[in-house]
């Protein structure tokens, strides 16, 4: 009687996902059941935002049949339920999972708690029209009109993440594209320097290193980091900056709901480190991990 748990947490990286052993599955199931989470609205839509968005659970057919509960549960972070309380309860069970060899479960729960308690800390000075104009470098680039609709189609939305959006490469990926996969050398640390270097191996340039016209459209992008956790990219459009947090919808607003005119000063929630600007060419090698 095993259970699968997925935390919708990251924009760039794959979300934490585990197949829990039977003994831990039963403990987690009892917790969720005692909290009444298998009643009411079991499939809530997740918010299109940075940071923790919700919890997905597949209890497996054995538990579903034995206890007469639905097979799946999708619990949105914006729902009425107290996710901070749930994560604190889960953290105690996560110790057992780590002891049984399910590494990373406890750390991921702590990351969710950190995201829930620190939400909004990534706001610098707001993302409105008063933000200072960013320094973009001397090279030419193209600004495609902001059009989120193709990215938000069901066939593309789940696996086209911020990196695919930044590169303007909408495809049917099997999983979220990761910087460095296209070149065969993925990033090894969640730092601006390491993720940026991986993107360069895929074909990206610094804003001072120009591409020829044959690489049009050359996209101006910005890279930000959730320290130790994840990365996120923004892309420049004529009147705004667009982005796509993980498998959620593409949008041009920040975490305060303001249209993004400067990614350096907009509200980025947990993604507090601004790395800088880069150019992504038409020929960038984006591939799923």
pLDDT tens figures, 234-262 = 999 999 999 999 999 999 999 999 999 99
Percent of the chain having pLDDT more than 70?
91
- Average pLDDT on 96-103 reads 69
pTM: 0.91
Q: Is the pLDDT of residue 121 over 70?
A: no
| Pick from 159, 146, 130, 167: nearest CA to 262 | 130
Domain extents for the chain?
A: 3-117, 162-280
Q: Count CB neighbours of 188 within 10 A.
A: 11
What residues are paired with 232 via a beta bridge?
224
Rounded to whole angstroms, how far apart are CA atoms 105 and 95? 8
Provide the 3-class DSSP secondary structure of residue 282. coil
The predicted structure's pLDDT at residue 99: 65
Proportion of the chain in helix, strand, coil states, percent, rounded to 5 = 25, 20, 55
Contact 228, 236 (CB under 8 A): no
Tokens 């933000």 sit at which residue?
Answer: 131
Q: How far apart are CA 280 and CA 221, in angstroms?
A: 7
pLDDT at 100: 66
How far, in Å, CA of 45 to CA of 246, rounded? Answer: 14
Query: Using one digit for the tens of pLDDT, what is the confidence trace for 19-60?
Result: 888 888 899 999 999 988 888 777 888 999 999 999 999 999
* Confidence (pLDDT) at 23: 84
């Amino acid at each position: 009687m095993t259970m699968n748990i997925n935390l919708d947490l990251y924009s760039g990286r794959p979300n934490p996902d585990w197949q829990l052993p039977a003994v831990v599955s039963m403990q987690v199931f009892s917790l969720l059941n005692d909290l009444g989470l298998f009643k009411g609205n079991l499939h809530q839509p997740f918010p299109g935002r940075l940071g923790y968005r919700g919890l997905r659970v597949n209890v497996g057919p054995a538990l579903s049949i034995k206890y007469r509960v639905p097979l799946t549960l999708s619990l949105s972070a914006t729902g009425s339920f107290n996710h901070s309380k749930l994560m604190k309860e889960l953290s105690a069970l996560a110790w057992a999972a780590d002891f049984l060899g399910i590494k990373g479960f406890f750390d991921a729960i702590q990351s969710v708690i950190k995201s829930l308690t620190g939400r909004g800390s990534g706001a610098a000075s707001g993302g409105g029209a008063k933000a200072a104009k960013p320094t973009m470098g001397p090279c030419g680039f193209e600004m495609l009109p902001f059009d989120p609709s193709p990215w938000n189609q069901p066939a593309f939305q789940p696996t086209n993440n911020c990196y695919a959006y930044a590169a303007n490469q909408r495809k049917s990926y099997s999983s979220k594209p990761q910087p460095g996969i296209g070149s065969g050398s993925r990033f090894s640390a969640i730092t601006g320097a390491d993720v940026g270097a991986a993107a360069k191996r895929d074909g990206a340039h610094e804003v001072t290193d120009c591409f020829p016209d044959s690489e049009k459209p050359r996209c101006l992008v910005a890279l930000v980091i959730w320290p130790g956790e994840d990365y996120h990219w923004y892309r420049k459009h004529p009147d705004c900056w667009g982005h796509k947090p993980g498998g959620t919808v593409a949008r041009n607003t920040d975490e305060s709901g303001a249209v993004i005119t400067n990614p350096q000063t907009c509200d980025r929630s947990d993604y507090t480190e601004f790395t800088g600007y880069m150019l992504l060419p038409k020929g960038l090698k984006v591939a799923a991990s």
